[in-house]
Amino acid sequence: MSTTTSTSGNAKSKVAEAVAAVNEATAAAATKSYDHATGAFDASVAQGAASFEKTQAKMKEGMEKAMKTAEEFVAFSQGNLDAFVKSGQIWAAGVQDISKQVAATAQASFEETLSTFRALTGVKSLKDAVDLQASLARSTLDKTVTESSRLTDASMKLAEQTIAPLTARVTLAVEKFARIG
């Protein structure tokens, strides 16, 4: 029995050694697998974090551009409003000046007509009355032509001045959008 016991002890010891070797190899493989999985996970997390940071940076850049564009749009719109206000002020002042010119011309014409009628009351002959009337008609026609020309010029100048701020804004808009496009 002693040989069997020693053979059996040797076999058990060899089995124990084999089991220990298998356990050791399994533990080493498990550790290697764990280390590999942990490394892959860490790399994946690092890559995800880098990707998130890039995405976050792009989003921040996009938001900054959007805010800048919104600010530029508000400023541009304010400029448009200012141009409309300025244009309206120019128009109102110009219409007031033209109205004053028309009133002054009408007043002068009325005074000339009144003066002619006063002179007519003191005429001594029909020829003098006809001459006064003809003189008034010529004078009125000449002044009407002159005043019409002056009012036309003033109106054209006023139209140009009134539209100038708006034209400047359109020009600016075309330049801005040409740079964007």
pLDDT in tens, 117-161: 898 888 899 999 999 899 999 999 999 999 999 999 999 999 999
Q: What is the pTM of this model?
A: 0.60
Confidence at residue 46, expressed as pLDDT on a 0 to 100 scale: 85
Confidence at residue 29, expressed as pLDDT on a 0 to 100 scale: 81
Q: Is the dihedral of CA 98, 103, 104, 105 positive or negative?
A: positive
Cβ 180 vs Cβ 105: under 8 Å: no
pLDDT in tens, 49-64: 888 889 999 999 999 9
Mean pLDDT of the chain: 87
Other Cβ atoms less than 10 A from the Cβ of 38: the count is: 10
Distance between CA 115 and CA 92 in Å, rounded?
34
Domain-by-domain residue ranges, the chain?
2-180
Mean pLDDT over residues 11-34, rounded?
81
- SS3 for 181? coil
State yes or no: pLDDT of 6 exceeds 80: no
Mean pLDDT over residues 6-27, rounded?
78
pLDDT in tens, 60-103: 999 999 999 889 889 888 999 999 999 999 999 999 999 999 99
Mean pLDDT over residues 20-33, rounded?
82
- SS3 for 125? coil
Cβ 162 vs Cβ 95: under 8 Å: no
Confidence at residue 5, expressed as pLDDT on a 0 to 100 scale: 60
Please report, rounded to a whole number, the percentage of residues in the chain having pLDDT higher than 90.
Answer: 50
